């Protein structure tokens, strides 16, 4: 116990030293550039060179913003460009950032020679185009980023965030003429947590334009960053960011933080707090108390009222149906009732949901291992409290989902709906989930080739059943390695299907404003427009296939900051005629090259940008089973991180889980 504490302490210390030492270098975030490129040695290229050197040389002298035009006799070769550094960034760092940005734009393989581009760093942004864009608001292309860690008390937090961000935005937009359009604002979340907000517009915007740009950015927060501990919305014309730690230097003492003097503590290390002083001391303003307490009270009241209403309605309904003696309704009720588990039984089975029994945390709640008095092992999923549905409807959906039975689906055994709990009971599988084994350097050896091939086929049949064979036509929407469970014989069982149904989300192809998938597995149309269909599941399946073949996480590519992801890497190998280099080293002895190539081929067909180019699950199953089916030639897949075409450059969403703070 003591040793973990001290090792944690040293980790923190190390991290802190590490963070302090790397602080001086600019941090690259993302770049988007037009696919239309100019030629080498063209006039426009020489203009761009001049533009870049003018921008970097003007980044000195306390300039945090600079725009310039490099004219050309032929107007179409005129280059327009600007840079902006975050308002608090020191002049040397700003200069370094702009230098790094212009260098990356001109020599990097992605953007060199592009007609237009934007590049974002933590500390600065640089943008150029062959068309004048000064004094106009641009919100595309854009970049949304969020910290994957959740905040407790999400509802009140989002209210506080929107109010505080709005104040920063107004302050930034309303700054005096000639001054930078930059503002920060802090607010106390609770006695020992502070919210840090920042908003900035490029200086060429009018106050009104700045305000409208920031309004759009603030409006995007619920979409990307709902309930998250940190988030950013980066537009070409303005950007906002919030975190629970100070990420900017507070060099404008005009707005003293409303917190106790915690700012001297290094980021991420919460100063020791005397709990007895939380309530009374000066830290919390009454405004914050109102902002937090009122929504909570209202939410609790509404919840209680809702529960009572449902109880009464539920009782009445049962009464009615019994009185009507409709035989069909009666059998329905008995079927549902046979799926019901008592809360006390489940508490006993899971040792009162003890930590020791916890198997993991899924998208919709925590999962525990349980043993029933009969000795049967179960997996118990305790749904997060604010799930969207009333009890009666929840029961109906459970009954429907419980009818989905397939050897490659985790079986839903029943549910519990008692007090405030909504619980789902599943069959227990022995080998946890695919990610647990596939990405573990030791355990991945257990998955020799024939097992991997069998897993791919099993997942395909499971999804095919969900899409086509079951009565319900379910789109999974969150297929990923952690949602594939493995039984004692390493047979795959898909879990978490039907969750959207249980949560009362419309299942038909449609447009959801809230995206539920996992970054890295989401198809571009789903991630960018919220369009989902069976073809978005096919995309996720393709990513899964690549992961199973390579033994590498798609997301690990993002974490290392590599310019390409697993899919682009696979495509590159395929194009070079060396697809087998993708195959995991641990199965190099056991694999069948033909099968591996076929899997990679199918994987690439699944991640095609146009959903219509992706095969259906039925076709995929056929392709896997019959080696005589000829497969179409894959086109270049959807490169999630590089699909920035100019006219309507997409929204790119990146979640960061880096946050050690």
Ligand X SMILES: *[C@@H]1O[C@H](CO)[C@@H](O)[C@H](O)[C@H]1NC(C)=O
Active site residues: 478
Binding-site member from 98, 214, 225, 543 for ligand X (CB under 6 A): 214
Tell me the C-alpha distance between 511 and 534, whole Å. Answer: 13
- Quote the tokens at residue 111: 């953007």
List binders of ligand X among 126-165 (CB under 6 A): 130-131, 134-135, 148-150
555: left (phi over 0), alpha (psi -120 to 50) or beta: alpha
Q: Does 276 bind ligand X (CB under 6 A)?
A: yes
Q: Which is nearer to ligand X, 170 or 243 (CB)?
A: 170
Q: Which residue has the tokens 């919220």?
A: 530
- Quote the tokens at residue 445: 């050896």
Tell me the C-alpha distance between 302 and 387, whole Å. Answer: 14
Q: Which is nearer to ligand X, 374 or 560 (CB)?
A: 560
Q: Which is nearer to ligand X, 213 or 378 (CB)?
A: 213
Q: Which residue has the tokens 């935005």?
A: 169
List binders of ligand X among 594-633 (CB under 6 A): none
The distance of closest approach from Cβ of residue 151 to ligand X in the complex, given in angstroms and rounded to an integer, is: 9
Binding-site member from 170, 209, 243, 525 for ligand X (CB under 6 A): 170
CB proximity list for 341: less than 8 A, separation 6 or greater: 414, 415, 416, 423, 425
389 touches 373 (CB < 8 A): no
The length of the chain in residues reads 661
The distance of closest approach from Cβ of residue 353 to ligand X in the complex, given in angstroms and rounded to an integer, is: 17
Only one of the segments 209-217, 292-300, 436-444, 596-604 lies at the binding site for ligand X (rule: CB under 6 A); that segment is: 209-217
List binders of ligand X among 532-571 (CB under 6 A): none
Q: Does 375 bind ligand X (CB under 6 A)?
A: no
Q: Does 211 bind ligand X (CB under 6 A)?
A: yes
Q: Which is nearer to ligand X, 164 or 533 (CB)?
A: 164
- Quote the tokens at residue 173: 């937009």
| Helix 43-57 with 91-107: angle, nearest 10 deg | 170
Q: Does 76 bind ligand X (CB under 6 A)?
A: yes
Q: Does 274 bind ligand X (CB under 6 A)?
A: yes
Neighbouring CB atoms inside 10 A of 332's CB total 15
CB proximity list for 603: less than 8 A, separation 6 or greater: 542, 543, 545, 546, 549, 570
DSSP letters spanning 441-481: TTGGGGS-HHHHHHHHHHHHHHHHIIIIISSS----S---G
The distance of closest approach from Cβ of residue 607 to ligand X in the complex, given in angstroms and rounded to an integer, is: 23
Q: Which is nearer to ligand X, 130 or 554 (CB)?
A: 130
The distance of closest approach from Cβ of residue 568 to ligand X in the complex, given in angstroms and rounded to an integer, is: 21
Q: Which is nearer to ligand X, 30 or 134 (CB)?
A: 134
Q: Does 230 bind ligand X (CB under 6 A)?
A: no
Binding-site member from 3, 21, 41, 560 for ligand X (CB under 6 A): 41
The distance of closest approach from Cβ of residue 217 to ligand X in the complex, given in angstroms and rounded to an integer, is: 8
Tell me the C-alpha distance between 249 and 338, whole Å. Answer: 61
186 touches 196 (CB < 8 A): yes
**Does residue 358 have a known ligand-binding role?**
no
Known binding-site residues for ATP equal 381
Which residues here bind ligand X, judged by CB under 6 A? 25-26, 36, 40-41, 54, 57-58, 67-69, 76, 100, 103-104, 115, 130-131, 134-135, 148-150, 166, 169-170, 174, 204, 211, 214-215, 218, 227, 274, 276-277, 363, 646-647
Known binding-site residues equal 381
């Amino acid at each position: 116990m003591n040793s973990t504490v001290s090792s944690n302490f040293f980790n923190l210390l190390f991290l802190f030293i590490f963070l302090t030492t790397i602080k001086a270098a600019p941090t690259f975030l993302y770049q988007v550039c037009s696919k239309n490129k100019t030629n080498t040695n063209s006039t426009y290229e020489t203009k761009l060179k001049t533009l870049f050197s003018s921008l970097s040389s003007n980044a000195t002298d306390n300039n945090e913003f600079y725009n310039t035009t490099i004219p050309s006799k032929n107007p179409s070769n005129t280059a327009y460009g600007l840079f902006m550094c975050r308002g608090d960034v020191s002049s040397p760092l700003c200069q370094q950032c702009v230098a790094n940005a212009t260098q990356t734009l001109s020599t990097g393989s992605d953007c060199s020679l592009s007609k237009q581009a934007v590049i974002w760093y933590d500390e600065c942004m640089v943008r150029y185009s062959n068309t004048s864009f000064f004094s106009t608001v641009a919100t595309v292309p854009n970049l949304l980023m969020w910290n994957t860690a959740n905040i407790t008390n999400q509802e009140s937090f989002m209210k506080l965030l929107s109010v505080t961000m709005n104040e920063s935005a107004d302050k930034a937009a309303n700054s005096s003429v000639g001054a930078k359009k930059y503002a920060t604002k802090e607010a106390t979340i609770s006695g020992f947590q502070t919210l840090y907000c920042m908003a900035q517009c490029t200086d060429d915007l009018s106050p009104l334009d700045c305000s409208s740009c920031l309004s759009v950015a603030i409006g995007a927060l619920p979409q990307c960053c709902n309930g998250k501990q940190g988030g950013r919305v980066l537009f070409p014309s303005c950007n906002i960011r919030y975190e629970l730690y100070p990420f900017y230097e507070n060099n404008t003492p005009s707005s003293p933080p409303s917190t106790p003097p915690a700012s001297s503590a290094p980021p991420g290390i919460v100063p020791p707090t005397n709990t007895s002083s939380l309530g009374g001391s000066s830290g919390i303003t009454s405004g914050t108390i109102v902002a937090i307490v009122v929504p909570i009270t209202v939410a609790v009241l509404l919840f209680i009222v809702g529960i009572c209403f449902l109880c009464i309605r539920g009782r009445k309904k049962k009464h009615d149906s019994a009185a009507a003696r409709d035989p069909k309704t009666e059998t329905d009720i008995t079927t549902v009732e046979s799926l019901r588990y008592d809360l006390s039984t489940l508490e006993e089975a899971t040792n009162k949901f003890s930590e020791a029994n916890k198997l993991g945390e899924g998208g919709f709640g925590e999962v525990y291992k349980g043993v029933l008095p009969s000795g049967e092992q179960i997996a118990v999923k305790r749904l997060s409290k604010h799930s969207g549905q009333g009890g009666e409807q929840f029961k109906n959906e459970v009954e429907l989902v419980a009818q989905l039975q397939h050897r490659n689906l985790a079986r839903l055994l029943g549910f519990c709906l008692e007090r405030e709990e909504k619980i789902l009971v599943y069959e227990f599988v022995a080998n946890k989930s695919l990610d647990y084994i596939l990405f573990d350097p030791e355990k991945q050896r257990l998955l020799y080739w024939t097992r991997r091939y069998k897993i791919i086929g099993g997942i395909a049949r499971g999804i095919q059943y969900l899409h086509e064979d079951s009565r319900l036509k379910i789109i999974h929407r969150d297929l990923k390695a952690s949602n594939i469970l493995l039984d004692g014989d390493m047979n795959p069982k898909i879990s978490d299907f039907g969750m959207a149904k249980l949560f009362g989300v419309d299942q038909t192809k449609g447009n959801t404003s809230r995206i539920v998938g996992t970054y890295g597995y989401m198809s571009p149309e789903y991630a960018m427009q919220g369009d989902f269909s069976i073809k978005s599941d096919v995309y996720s399946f393709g990513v899964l296939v690549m992961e199973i073949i390579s033994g590498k996480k798609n997301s690990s590519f993002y974490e290392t900051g590599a310019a390409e992801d697993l899919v682009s890497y696979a495509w590159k190998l395929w194009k070079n005629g060396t697809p087998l280099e993708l195959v995991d080293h641990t199965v190099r002895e056991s694999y069948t090259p033909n099968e591996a190539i076929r899997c990679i081929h199918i994987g690439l067909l699944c991640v095609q940008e146009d959903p219509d180019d992706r095969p259906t699950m039925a076709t995929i199953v056929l392709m896997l089973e019959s080696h005589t089916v000829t497969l179409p030639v894959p086109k270049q897949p959807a490169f999630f991180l590089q699909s920035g075409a100019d006219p309507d450059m997409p929204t790119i969403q990146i979640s960061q889980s880096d946050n050690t703070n």
